[in-house]
Homo-oligomer: A and B are copies of this chain.
């Protein structure tokens, strides 16, 4: 490995001078500069990011804590984050926590020891205290940690209302809601939006807690359709659950959308690949990722951040599973 010393020797200057040209900082004569430049290319020198980190306590790395990258909601988030990070000269460390406190704590520890410059938390376990101890800027994604932590979320309740109203408008008389796990804020909010809307319109409705799980959704919807063939609309709190509902409908020979209308939530890319393609409440997933990392970098680079709560509006994407 060639170090700054080698470069200095080769260019006949001191390491201080090399450092100056490296960082474009401080006075350095034209001759010295060119000599150093030549030495750098001749020796194919690359400064050690680690040595730099030791000095300035920065690493140009950010940690991304998510429950599970294999959950189709997160890859697109991760992509948005990484694209912005790359442009800004940061690198992303991927941490799957499975929503386990232990894993999360492990990663928080490890990241801190590596002097990461910031952390995006899209995973749900620790309380604020948990993160405040960390001496690192953080951003909360799809969850709330504290008013002091910049947060990026989606208007879940509003999205749920849009979907439910749409089903009602399209003539549904008995609507089922496939809700996410109780206690999970996003799931609760979507449920609230659904409930308020059906009650407001006085529509019959049924709620099933399928979680964000395709298989369970399929099973439960099949049973539902057997017992209540009059169900003519389904609002699923995730596209994955909606896909399960579509499978159940297919098995039960129910025609979608003529006979049964289905709306999902999320807008992950595979919804469009379903047949028919899934009508859904789309979150601007990629942009959410971009916003989160931008807020994080603003903090890292000491730019004042104006607003702490960014709430994106979801958008109805009418596709093939509704009339």
Contacts and interface: CB of A to CB of B under 8 A. Distances in A.
Contact of A273 (B47, B75, B94, B244): B244
Q: How many copies does the complex hold?
A: 2
Contact of A113 (B47, B94, B95, B112): B47
Interface stretch (A34-42, A50-58, A305-313): A50-58
B69 A82 contact: yes
A114 B57 CA distance: 14
Contacts of A275: 243, 246-247, 249-250, 274-275
Contacts of A69: 69, 75, 78-79, 82
Contacts of A146: none
Contact of A61 (B48, B70, B83, B93): B93
B94 A114 contact: no
Contact of A78 (B94, B247, B274): B94
A317 interface: no
Given A1-B135, A48-B113, A75 B79 contact: no
A170 interface: no
A30 to B, nearest CB: 27
A59 interface: yes
Contacts of A72: 72, 75, 269-270
B115 A50 contact: yes
A74 interface: yes
Contacts of A50: 50, 53-54, 59, 113-115
A92 interface: yes
B54 A82 contact: no
Interface in A230-281: 240, 243-244, 246-247, 249-250, 269-270, 272-277
Contact of A91 (B47, B78, B114): B114
Interface string A93-133: 11110000001001101101111000000000000000000
A296 to B, nearest CB: 15
Contacts of A92: 93-94
Contacts of A276: 247, 250
Given A51-B54, A69-B79, 5 more contacts: A50-B54, A59-B114, A72-B269, A86-B103, A243-B273
Interface of A: 1, 46-51, 53-54, 57, 59, 61, 64, 68-70, 72, 74-76, 78-79, 82-83, 86, 91-96, 103, 106-107, 109-110, 112-115, 135, 214, 240, 243-244, 246-247, 249-250, 269-270, 272-277
15 contacts: A47-B113, A50-B113, A61-B114, A70-B75, A70-B78, A78-B94, A83-B96, A86-B96, A86-B106, A93-B94, A94-B94, A214-B272, A243-B273, A247-B275, A270-B273
